[in-house]
Amino acid sequence: MNTTESILGKGSFSKGEIISLLSLQNRDEQIPLFRAGKLARNKYVGAKVHLRGIIEFSNYCTQDCIYCGIRKSNLSLERYRMSFEEILSTAKLIYNSEIKTVVLQSGEDPYYDCDFISKLIVKIKEEFNLAITLSLGEREYYEYEKWKSAGADRYLLKHETANPEIYSQIHNSGSLTERLEHLSYLDSLGFQIGSGNIIGLPGQTIEDIADDLILCSKYQLDMASFSPFIPSSDTPFSDVPKASLDLTLKTLAVARLILKYAHIPATTALATLDELGREKGINVGANVVMPSFTPVGVKTKYSIYDNKRCITEDASSCMPCLRARIESCDVEIDNGYGHSLYLNQ
Ligand code: SAM
């Protein structure tokens, strides 16, 4: 038995073992890792993929994250905000597509105050009874409390990198510690929580990615996202090369082996990195895909990175192609809510 096989045979990994798996360069050695990721997905969460419809309702942002195309210093970006009614009618399209989760995402935009988001949650629950994931960045603690009481189910807040120095270099405010405090607070309120990293940040090492995975395991995340960095031309990182596909897939496979029951997406960034990125992600262990239902008129303006996939067609025309692509991966589409699998453990 070679080293890779003996590591893969274990139930849990040391940091050194995670680094060994992430460092596999040889395709013949990567294949057993990828196969193990897929088998673990089938074993722990089933040979199924959940769809989550995302509405990116505002690209205004008070933050200035160096890597992100909607950062406040990007003055060349045309900004948009969707109204309450527009968000609601987009949620209806998600409901009509037989998808049972809506992800409400935006830049950090205080225009949408606590009351607005609370009313939106109540209305979406009343009208469509969708599971609601919020991805609004760091907000006040009382706002999280109100939104949980209003009926929100989940909150996504990526830690982006577990390396505190890199975290501080790429963010204009806050610290990794503060971000994680928000995540813990959300967890304590009963939200299903999601976090994750960006792969391919300048200065980031394989050891840092191992730390990302260990951090995700420590927080026992319900959802964990590992997306490749893709440059945005209007940011200080415009010349930073995009992330490696191989490293992204290795991270996803190791994540599945470590996090077992977590919902792990094959991200749009992965589909942007590689024409078959979504399929490749599913084939190494991912079990979630998040089609964007953001209206075509504004979708191109939610440009967190360049050449984002599927932004010129509306979601209803994309869905047949997306469903066929998913089903080509030996998985079925699960039409349930896709709540945390830890709730059943
Ligand atoms: N404002 C919210 C927040 O900070 O959590 C949500 C919006 S933010 C644009 C959503 C995610 O986009 C971030 O968590 C980050 O991981 C990702 N992102 C931003 N720029 C990216 C880039 N250039 N490449 C890959 N992912 C990027």
The reply to whether 26 falls in a domain is no
Q: Is the pLDDT of residue 236 over 80?
A: yes
Domains of the chain: total: 1
Strand 48-51: give its sheet, edge to edge. 288-289, 48-51, 332-334
Mean local confidence (pLDDT), 195-212? 98
- What pLDDT is attached to residue 317? 83
Name the residue range of residue 42's domain. Answer: 31-331
C-beta neighbour count of 318 within 10 angstroms: 17
Please write the tens of the pLDDT for every residue from 104-154.
999 999 999 999 999 999 999 999 999 999 999 999 999 999 999 999 999
The reply to whether 17 falls in a domain is no
Measured CA to CA, the distance from residue 208 to residue 227 in angstroms comes to 14
Mean local confidence (pLDDT), 176-186? 98
Is the C-beta atom of 227 inside 6 A of ligand 1?
yes
Which among 68, 133, 154, 226 is the best mutation to test ligand 1's pocket, defined by most ligand atoms within 8 Å of the CB? 68
Q: How far is the CA of 304 from the centre of ligand 1 (A)?
A: 7
The reply to whether 342 falls in a domain is no
The reply to whether 20 falls in a domain is no
CATH number at residue 51: 3.20.20.70
- What pLDDT is attached to residue 343? 64
Of 6, 22, 3, the residue nearest 214 (C-alpha): 22
Which among 221, 227, 301 is the best mutation to test ligand 1's pocket, defined by most ligand atoms within 8 Å of the CB? 227
Measured CA to CA, the distance from residue 157 to residue 185 in angstroms comes to 11
- What pLDDT is attached to residue 305? 96
Sign of CA dihedral 211, 145, 106, 324: positive
Mean local confidence (pLDDT), 295-301? 95
Mean local confidence (pLDDT), 185-202? 98
The reply to whether 53 falls in a domain is yes
End-to-end alpha carbon distance in the chain: 33
Measured CA to CA, the distance from residue 194 to residue 196 in angstroms comes to 7
The reply to whether 1 falls in a domain is no
Residue with CA at minimum distance from ligand 1 atom 4: 137
The reply to whether 273 falls in a domain is yes
Measured CA to CA, the distance from residue 90 to residue 186 in angstroms comes to 26
Q: How far is the CA of 24 from the centre of ligand 1 (A)?
A: 27
**Mean residue pLDDT across the chain:** 96
Q: Which atom of ligand 1 is nearest to the CA of 160?
A: 16
Check: pTM over 0.85? Answer yes or no.
Answer: yes
Higher pLDDT, 315 or 125: 125
Q: Is the pLDDT of residue 345 over 80?
A: no
The reply to whether 341 falls in a domain is no
- What pLDDT is attached to residue 316? 80
Buried-state track 137-146, b at ≥16 Cβ within 10 A, e below 16: bbbeeebbeb
- What pLDDT is attached to residue 121? 98
